[in-house]
Structure 1
Amino acid sequence: MCFHRFYETWLHQLHSLHHQLTSAPKPRTQEDELHLSHLVDKSMTHYYDYYRVKSSASKHNILSILTPTWTTPLERSLQWVAGWRPTTVFHLIYTESSVRFEAQIMDILRGRRTGDLGDLSPSQLGGVSELQCETVREENEITEELSEWQVNVEDLISVCPDMEGKIQRLVKVVEKADDLRLKTIQRVVEILTPQQAVEFLIAAAELQFGVRGWGLDQDRRSRSM
């Protein structure tokens, strides 16, 4: 329950950060650029705090982290190793970039730079693509490690009641997954400009809010039936 309370507070603070990000003006001066960089750093610190506390909670009770009662069934159905898939980040970037590019294609063709996610440079696109390949590989490795853990646990249960070593190994698998999630966000933010990073962080928060809101709505409908 302790992590549950932390999560609710953390999510409330994410709403506040989302408001700050959406309220920030597009950079016209160096001061504006510094303000956006500050908001990006503030958002990343918020994510760091989440995974720091989650790591501590995992060591205390990994099973509650794997089956969190404070999330909706919809949220849990979309989870990969106790959280979101790191490769979701790339689907989000490509979707946001395509939508923005199509909306301002005439300006871009006329050589007017928008500076947003619809205006990614070739080097940025190359960096995102390279990071995506690396993330897919690491994601697959963690999936295989979790599958091996599940097979070994089935064998262990039939011959030995001591699960402590296996539980500790599961904690490490979840920590690897969380490290990859955080690393992926951080490296994407490093590739983007402050303005683009703000837009990416807004989209990431809205995706999280949207999935949770949809899940809560489904729960309410199920209880009323």
Structure 2
Amino acid sequence: MENPSSSNIEKLQQDCYHEWMRLQAKRMTDLKQALTNGEKNDDELRELIETVIGEFKDYAGKRSEQSRRYSSNYFAPTWNTCLENALLWMGGCRPSSFIRLVYAMCGSQTELRLANFLRNDNLDGLSMALGETPGLDEAGESMSDLTPEQLYKINELHLKTVQEENKLSKQAATLQEDTADMPIALAAFYKEEIGEADVEVESALDKYEANMARILTEADKLRLTTLTQVVEILTVVQAVDFLLAGKKLHLSMHEWGRLREHRRLESCGGGGDPGGEFSGG
């Protein structure tokens, strides 16, 4: 029978994530409204940015507290879809993916602005002939307006973040290799019954869970630090645009994973929602 304390902790972890996903959806709406507001107030935008960052910090703190004994739940969450679990790095997204998102947004918005410019340029001749003011770029401030200084800082942050990711990946690899060491490997080899564990094995597994919890906490700190530093490099409008894109990506990956699993179940003659209302990780 499953340990009741383990079951209760997993439910706490799952409930915490479901609440986080609901908050993500709400903040996505808030960020979208802030960008579409005709008269953007920088102070209000900064307050919204601080709220979003603060909520992520609170969520990371809850994860750290709830992972002290059962950290493995976060590395392959049962409340996740298979697609999301396949993309996990240390229980979440890679911190460097925040920076890759900035690059992607910069490229796509630059292409869009260029296309708009070329289209408007063809219309300007007709506008001038009619005595009208040539069309102006109405895209407003965006990632395509990143200055050389901003790009330099983002590149520096990218290099630093990848180095920190590699350190944590090496630590996790060492812990994984330790599972083939004593006493775990010897117990698995010599025990008559598969899965039979003694006090020494349980202690070793508890130590492994504790070390993985430490790595999860460090990974969340790196995610938070990277996110905060990216936002500090960007202008307030760019930061809101970036945070909105990040939340849309997070929620979309959950939904895409859920739909793919639903299609697989249907093709196998099954049915139902594999992940529930919010199954993402």
Scaled by the length of structure 1, the TM-score of the pair is 0.91
- In 1, are the aligned partners of 2:45 and 2:240 still within 8 Å (CA)? yes
2:25 pairs, out of 15, 34, 39, with 15
| CA–CA separation in structure 2 for the residues paired with 1:28 and 1:222 | 44
Counterpart CA distance in 1 for 2:236 and 2:69 is 37
Alignment partner for residue 49 of structure 1, among 32, 53, 58?
58
Q: How far 1:170 moved relative to its partner?
A: 1.7
Contact 1:127–1:191 (CA<8 Å) still a contact in 2?
yes
Deviations 1:170-224 (A, max 9, x none): 2111111111111110110111111000000011001111110001101211221
Instruction: Confirm or deny: 8 A CA contact 2:35 2:237 kept in the other structure.
Output: no
Structure 2 residue 154 is the aligned partner of structure 1 residue 128:
yes
C-alpha offsets along residues 58-117 of structure 1, whole Å, 9 cap, x if unaligned? 11311211221111010000011111111111211001011111222349xxx9794221
**Bigger CA radius of gyration:** 2
Paired residue secondary structure (2:229): helix
Q: Aligned with 1:100: secondary structure? A: helix
- Separation in 1 of the partners of 2:69 and 2:232? 33
Give the Cα separation in 2 of the matches to 1:166 and 1:223: 35
The residue number in structure 2 matching 1:177 is 219
> Corresponding residue for 1:93?
102
C-alpha displacement at 1:40, in angstroms?
Answer: 0.6
Query: What is the rounded CA distance, in whole Å, between the counterparts of 1:192 and 1:26 in structure 2?
Result: 18
Q: How far apart in 2 are the matches of 1:119 and 1:10? A: 32
Deviations 1:26-46 (A, max 9, x none): 6876x7111111111111112
In structure 2, the residue matched to 1:148 is 174
CA RMSD in angstroms, aligned pairs only: 2.1
What TM-score do you get using the length of structure 2 for normalisation? 0.74
1:6 is aligned, of 13, 16, 37, to 16
Q: Quote the offset at 1:25 in angstroms.
A: 4.0
Match in the other structure for 1:204: 246
Q: Distance between the aligned counterparts of 1:150 and 1:48, measured in 2?
A: 28
Provide the rounded CA distance (Å) in 2 between the counterparts of 1:4 and 1:89.
24
1:5-84 matches, within 5 Å, as: 5-25=15-35, 32-84=41-93
Name the residue aligned to 1:222.
264
Unaligned runs of 5+ in 2: 1-10, 119-135, 187-199, 268-281
| Percent of residue pairs identical | 28
The residue matched to 2:67 in structure 1 has which SS? Answer: helix
> Structure 1: how far apart are the matches of 2:77 and 2:66?
11
Aligned length: 222
CA distance in 2, matches of 1:103, 1:170: 43
Match among 202, 208, 214 for residue 166 of structure 1: 208
Q: SS at 2:45's partner residue?
A: helix
- The CA deviation at 1:165 is 2.7
The equivalent position to 1:139 in structure 2, one of 152, 165, 181, is 165
Deviations 1:120-153 (A, max 9, x none): 0111101100000000101011111111111122
Unaligned runs of 5+ in 1: none
